[in-house]
Amino acid sequence: MALALAAATAGAEVRTVEAVGAVPLDPNTPAQQPPRDAALNRALAEAVWRVALEELPDFDSATQEEALRAALGGDPLEFATRFRILEDRGERPALFTEDPTVTTEYVVVTEVHVDADRVRKRLARSGLLVAPSGDRPRRRVRVEILDLRSYASYVAVRTLLEELGLRTPVPVEMERGRTVLQVEADRPPSQLLTDLVRAAPANLSLVPVGSDEESLRLRARFLGADAAEGPEGWPPPAAIDTQHQNRY
């Protein structure tokens, strides 16, 4: 069975996604499964969801979210070829849970390998994936952000990429002081680097480092936020949050 699975996935396009899974801990509600398992399942589902959104640049959450959830089904292991837990944060004060009455949650950080071909086929079968007409050809570009001093700097670059009309940037490598995003770009890396620097707001300092045919490198600093960063150049955990659906 292992050999059959390896043969089936050898030629597939697999994307690596780092995702956070969090489940609320409510002492008044009996849990259907251990909190760690539930948080892991949330992380797997989040990774698959983000890969699906990459394929749907015009996705309208107001009208298509229910259809997308139905298309992906309830088992993220249909699309996740493998995964590993990078960090088991355990029980902690609620940060990702939207219910204000919940004060505690269980959190895990995972690295998930998602079969993008399988996701595309499911989206096409459900009618959500429509072939683009008249779009400029897109290419996959790696955006390497160097000398990161705060989470705010990372979020600012990611937001700027989205404002330039690129498909949802996906983090493929993350370490202290350095992050690599993967985007579906409609321009070569050298032009994208120029556009990023030109479009950066006054409170975001971007310094170009270089580019080649498949990637670009830059230094980023979100002015004002870096001065208030936490120990070792990173903010406290409570600052690692966004208000959007794909939040970390």
Residue 26: strand, helix, or coil: coil
DSSP 158-215: HHHHHHTT----EEEEEETTEEEEEEEESS-HHHHHHHHHHH--TTEEEEEEEE-SSE
- Give the phi and the psi of residue 6 in degrees, each rounded to 5: -65, -40
Measured in Å, how far apart are the chain's first and last C-alpha atoms? Answer: 35
pLDDT of res. 167: 67
CA dist 158 and 155 (Å) reads 5
pLDDT of res. 136: 54
pLDDT of res. 240: 34
pLDDT of res. 107: 92
DSSP bridge pairs for 110: 19, 85
pLDDT of res. 54: 85
pLDDT of res. 8: 43
Helix (H) or strand (E) holding 155: helix 151-163
> Domains of the chain: which residue ranges?
8-126, 139-239
pLDDT of res. 143: 94
What strand order describes the sheet that includes 139-146?
170-175, 178-185, 139-146, 215-222, 204-211
User: What is the amino acid identity at position 31?
Assistant: A
pLDDT of res. 110: 95
Q: Looking at the domain 8-126, which fold is it?
A: Dodecin subunit-like (3.30.1660)
pLDDT average per 10 residues of sequence, the chain (248 residues): 43 84 83 89 94 83 88 93 94 82 90 93 84 58 89 86 79 84 86 89 89 91 57 37 38
